[in-house]
Chains A and B, each alone.
Chain A
Amino acid sequence: MSCNCCKGMITEDPRFAELDAFIASAKSTPGSLISVLHKAQHLFGFLPEEVLQHIAAGLQIPPAEVYGVVTFYNYFSTEPVGRFPISVCMGTACYVQGADRVLAKIESELGIKTGQVTDDGLFSLVSCRCVGACGLAPVITIGGEVHGKLTEHDVPKLLAEIRQQAIADGLVEAPVQEPVAAGSDK
Chain B
Amino acid sequence: MINLTIDRKQVQVESGTTVLEAARSMGVNIPTLCYLKNINKIGACRMCLVEVKGARGLQTSCTTPCTEGMEVTTNNTAVRAARKLVLELLLSDHNMECPTCVRAGNCELLQLSQEHGVSGIRYEGEKHAAHCDCDSPSLSIDSSKCVLCQRCVAVCREVQGVSAISLVGRGFESAVTPFWKTSIDAAACALCGQCTLVCPTGALTEKDDTEKVWAALMDPTKHVIVQTAPATRVAIGEMFGMPHGAIATGQMVAAIRSLGFDRVFDTNFSADLTIMEEASELVSRLQNGGPLPLITSCSPGWVKYAEHFFPDQLDHLSSCKSPQQMFGAIAKTYYAEKQGIDPKDIVSVSIMPCTAKKFEAARDEMNASGYQDVDYVLTTRELGRMIKQAGLNLAKLRPEEYDVPLGIGTGAGQIFGTTGGVMEAAMRTAAAWLGGTDMPRLTFQEVRGEVAGIREATVVINGNVFFLAIANGLAAAGRIMEKIKAGDTRYHFVEIMGCPGGCIGGGGQPIPSEGPDALEEVRLARIKSMYAIDEAQTIRRSHENPAIQELYREFLGAPLSHKSHELLHTHYHGRGPAGVRKAAAASGVKK
Chain A residues within CB distance 8 Å of chain B = 4-5, 27-28, 30-33, 49, 52-53, 56-57, 59-69, 71-72, 78, 129-130
Contact = CB atoms under 8 A, between A and B. Distances in A.
Interface in B171-203: 171-173, 177-180, 187-188
8 contacts: A61-B589, A62-B157, A62-B162, A62-B163, A64-B177, A71-B169, A129-B126, A129-B172
Nearest to A59: B586
Of A60, A61, A68, the most chain B CB neighbours within 10 A belong to A68
A52 B163 CA distance: 15
A53 B168 CA distance: 16
Question: Nearest 3 A-B pairs (CB), nearest first?
Answer: A60-B583, A62-B163, A68-B166
B589 A31 contact: yes
Interface string B560-591: 00000000000000001111111101101101
Contacts of A59: 583, 586, 589
B164 interface: yes
- The CB with the most chain B CB atoms within 10 A, among A28, A64, A72, is that of A64
Interface residues of B, number: 33
Given A72-B170, A129-B172, A5 B576 contact: yes
B170 A61 contact: no
Contact of B580 (A30, A33, A57, A129): A57
B169 A5 contact: no
A60 B586 contact: yes
A5 B576 CA distance: 8
Contacts of B179: 52-53, 56, 62-64, 66-67
B275 interface: no
Given A56-B179, A130-B126, 20 more contacts: A5-B577, A28-B585, A57-B580, A59-B583, A59-B589, A60-B582, A61-B580, A61-B582, A61-B583, A62-B162, A62-B163, A62-B164, A62-B188, A62-B581, A62-B582, A63-B577, A67-B180, A69-B589, A71-B170, A72-B591
Nearest to B589: A33
Given A59-B586, A62-B162, A71-B168, A5 B178 contact: no
B186 to A, nearest CB: 12
Say what secondary structure dominates the interface of chain B: loop
Interface of B: 126, 157, 162-173, 177-180, 187-188, 576-583, 585-586, 588-589, 591
A5 B180 CA distance: 14
A86 B169 CA distance: 20
A78 B180 CA distance: 9
B576 to A, nearest CB: 7
A33 B188 CA distance: 21
Contact of B578 (A5, A31, A71): A5
Contact of B579 (A30, A62, A69, A71): A62
Nearest to A73: B170
Contact of B586 (A5, A52, A61, A64): A61
Contacts of A72: 167, 169-170, 591
A127 B16 CA distance: 47
Of listed A63, A69, A72, A130, residue having the most chain B CB within 10 A: A63
A5 B578 CA distance: 7
B12 to A, nearest CB: 36
A34 to B, nearest CB: 8
Nearest to A30: B588
B578 to A, nearest CB: 5
